[in-house]
Amino acid sequence: MTTPPSTSPDSGPTAVDAPEATAALPSILEHSRDKLTSIMLELGEKKFRADQLWRSIYHETAESFEDMSTLSKPFRKSLIEKYSLSSLEQATFVTSADGTTSKALYKLHDDELIETVLMRYEADGHRRNRKTACISTQAGCALGCTFCATGQQGLRRNLTVGEIVAQVIEMQRIAHREDEAQVAEGKRTTGELQGVTNVVFMGMGEPLANYRNVMSAIRVLNDGQGLNIGARHITVSTVGLVPQILQLADEELQINLAISLHAPDNATRSQTMPINQRYPVQELIRACHTYADKTKRRIFFEYVLLKEQNDSLEQAQKLGRLLNGLHCHVNLIPVNPTKEGSFERTDLATAKVFQSGLKQYGIPSTVRMEKGIDINAGCGQLRERAVEILGA
């Protein structure tokens, strides 16, 4: 979110008088850590200043250069003149009635709208409480899956590294504010400030179609001096772009890979996912085996349940046979109906029967009832509604 120009008078010995950066300036978030360091050295700054700057941006998630009190006043002034700190302007922010899910719609410099979701999970028997940011990688998507609101919008452009990372920074600020409110209420100690714990690339767009920027963004998110999101807490979801899956297998990243499979055979998959014509099921599963063998990582399969289309027991058993021998986990997700879509959600009882079919083949699965249905938290849906409301 762009920080509004400061109108307050000089408020202390370290405040900077220069006007705030505008979105017209290049975003400092576009640079890798190494690149940022070399730029700072060229500007005559010492390396430790670049490290301080990095921490201020990504660890402290300062809202403006002016707030970066560890940096000298002249250094801040030159940053303000040269860079903007973010490229996102918040257009809408809504929270579900149960408070677990918030969704932001951000406007980019060229008026494109993208969505970011924050999901809050309470601790259960197995896992501690966590906050997951669901982020977008493209404005729109070229792949046209028929059940997906983003897929119906077509591709407008790839997001830049800075636009991808900025979404996590925004969610981190929200999460930190919530942590601080809990500290104030005595529910936490400051030592426990947790922020965003997980990032999933499951917002608008196909991450592997914007491969280079997504990889660069992951390295920024993963940096221990910055946002410090562990690779094992980062999940990239793909429609199944085989060459990029094979490329990813060689990256030596410990991230999670989720494959949007949604059908056990070509006939069913091609009905809703045009990409299946290009990379059919068998080729995709072969790539998954290669990925699992190389990385030794378990693969997650996403399976959106479409009533009476892909949710029968026979289809579950077919899926079980297809995935047999692959170290994997299947997430079963009753479809989130979209405006244009003619799809209905599978009910919980049918989803459980489907799950039992997978179990016959030893395939573990979880039924995920999607969060944030009341705020159109499904991929691409908030933008769809905002375009109606805002006329954007």
Write out the catalytic residue numbers: 115, 379
Radius of gyration of the chain (CA): 22
Neighbours of 154 (CB within 10 A): 12
Q: Using the rule CB under 6 A, is 302 a contact of ligand SAH? A: yes
Nearer to ligand SAH, 29 or 117 (CB): 117
For the CB of residue 201, give the shortest distance to ligand SF4 in the complex, in Å. 10
Region of 56-64, 77-85, 122-130, 137-145 interacting with ligand SF4 (CB under 6 A): 137-145
Q: Using the rule CB under 6 A, is 379 a contact of ligand SAH? A: yes
Buried b (16+ CB within 10 A) or exposed e, 170-186: bbbbbbbebbeeeeeee
Q: Which residue in 219, 230, 235, 179 sits closest to 54, CA to CA?
A: 219
List 150, 210, 235, 376, residue binding ligand SF4 (CB under 6 A): 150
Q: Using the rule CB under 6 A, is 299 a contact of ligand SAH? A: no
Nearer to ligand SF4, 28 or 143 (CB): 143
Q: Using the rule CB under 6 A, is 284 a contact of ligand SAH? A: no
Contacted by 166, from ligand SF4, ligand SAH, none: CB < 5 to 8 Å by type: none
Region of 28-36, 148-156, 249-257, 332-340 interacting with ligand SF4 (CB under 6 A): 148-156
Q: Using the rule CB under 6 A, is 115 a contact of ligand SF4? A: no
117-156 residues near ligand SAH, rule: CB under 6 A? 145, 147-148
190-229 residues near ligand SF4, rule: CB under 6 A? 205-206
The C-alpha angle with vertex 131 and arms to 129 and 134, in degrees rounded to 5, equals: 145
- Name the closest residue to ligand SF4 (Cβ): 151
Reported in sequence order, the residue ranges of the chain that DSSP labels E, i.e. its strands, are 89-95, 101-107, 113-121, 130-134, 138-140, 155-158, 198-201, 234-238, 256-260, 299-305, 328-334, 365-367
Q: Which residue in 298, 203, 309, 326 sits closest to 263, CA to CA?
A: 309
Q: Using the rule CB under 6 A, is 143 a contact of ligand SF4? A: yes
d(CA 377, CA 380): 8
Q: Total residues at the site for ligand SAH (CB under 6 A)?
A: 17
306, 337 contact by CB (below 8 A): no
The C-alpha angle with vertex 165 and arms to 160 and 168, in degrees rounded to 5, equals: 145
Neighbours of 34 (CB within 10 A): 10
Instruction: Enumerate the β-bridge partners of residue 236.
Output: 201, 257
Q: Using the rule CB under 6 A, is 167 a contact of ligand SAH? A: no
Nearer to ligand SAH, 37 or 336 (CB): 336
For the CB of residue 381, give the shortest distance to ligand SAH in the complex, in Å. 7
Contacted by 249, from ligand SAH, ligand SF4, none: CB < 5 to 8 Å by type: none
Region of 10-18, 172-180, 277-285, 331-339 interacting with ligand SAH (CB under 6 A): 331-339
Residue 35, both tokens: 């690149």
Q: Using the rule CB under 6 A, is 305 a contact of ligand SAH? A: no
Q: Which residue in 324, 331, 334 sits closest to 288, CA to CA?
A: 324
Q: Which residue in 162, 239, 247 sits closest to 202, CA to CA?
A: 239
Residue 275, both tokens: 């990409």
For the CB of residue 272, give the shortest distance to ligand SF4 in the complex, in Å. 9
Contacted by 162, from ligand SAH, ligand SF4, none: CB < 5 to 8 Å by type: none
Strand pairing of 155-158 and 113-121? unpaired
List 119, 202, 253, 322, residue binding ligand SAH (CB under 6 A): 202
Question: Which residues contribute to the site for ligand SAH (CB under 6 A)?
Answer: 145, 147-148, 202, 206, 237-239, 260, 302, 304, 333, 335-336, 338, 378-379
Binding site for ligand SF4 (CB under 6 A): 141, 143-145, 148, 150-151, 205-206, 239, 260, 379
